[in-house]
Amino acid sequence: MHHLARPLFGNVPQSTVYGCPKPQSPNQRVTLNSLRQKHLACEPITMVTAYDYPSAVQVDTAGIDICIVGDSAAMVVHGYENTLPITLDEMLIHCRAVTRGATRSFLVGDLPFGSYESSSAQAVDTAVRVLKEGSMDAIKLEGAAPSRIGAARAIVEAGIAVMGHVGLTPQAISALGGFRPQGKSINSAIKVVETALALQEVGCFSVITTIGIGAGPYCSGQVLVYHDLLGMLQHSHHAKVPKFCKQYGHVGEAINKALSEYKQEVKNKVFPGISNTPYKISEGDVDGFMNELQKMGLSEAASAAAAAAYSRTWEDVNRNSY
Q: Using one digit for the tens of pLDDT, what is the confidence trace for 165-191? A: 987 666 655 555 555 665 568 888 898
Please state which of the ranges 51-60, 182-191, 197-206, 252-261 shows the lowest mean pLDDT: 182-191
Predicted local distance difference test score (pLDDT) of residue 315 = 53
Mean pLDDT calculated for residue range 260-289: 90
Predicted local distance difference test score (pLDDT) of residue 167 = 75
Predicted local distance difference test score (pLDDT) of residue 24 = 53
Predicted local distance difference test score (pLDDT) of residue 49 = 98
Predicted local distance difference test score (pLDDT) of residue 198 = 93
Confidence tier at 19 by pLDDT (50, 70, 90): very low
* Structure-model confidence comparison of residues 10 and 141, the more confident one: 141
Q: Return the SS3 of 140.
A: strand
* Tens digits of residue pLDDT in 151-165: 999 999 999 999 999
Q: Considering the entire predicted model, what is its pTM?
A: 0.82
Mean pLDDT calculated for residue range 202-222: 89
Nearest CA-CA partner of 116 in 131, 108, 126? 126
How far is Cα 273 from Cα 230, in angstroms, rounded to an integer? 32
- Give the burial class of 287: count Cβ atoms within 10 A of its Cβ; 0-12 exposed, 13-18 middle, 19 or more buried: exposed
Confidence tier at 141 by pLDDT (50, 70, 90): very high
Mean pLDDT calculated for residue range 25-34: 86
The DSSP secondary structure of 206-265, one letter per residue, reads EEETTEESSS-SSSSEEEE-HHHHHT---SGGG----TT------HHHHHHHHHHHHHHH
* Structure-model confidence comparison of residues 91 and 143, the more confident one: 91
Confidence tier at 18 by pLDDT (50, 70, 90): very low
Mean pLDDT over each residue of the chain, to the nearest integer: 85
Predicted local distance difference test score (pLDDT) of residue 87 = 98
Q: Return the SS3 of 162.
A: strand
Predicted local distance difference test score (pLDDT) of residue 192 = 86
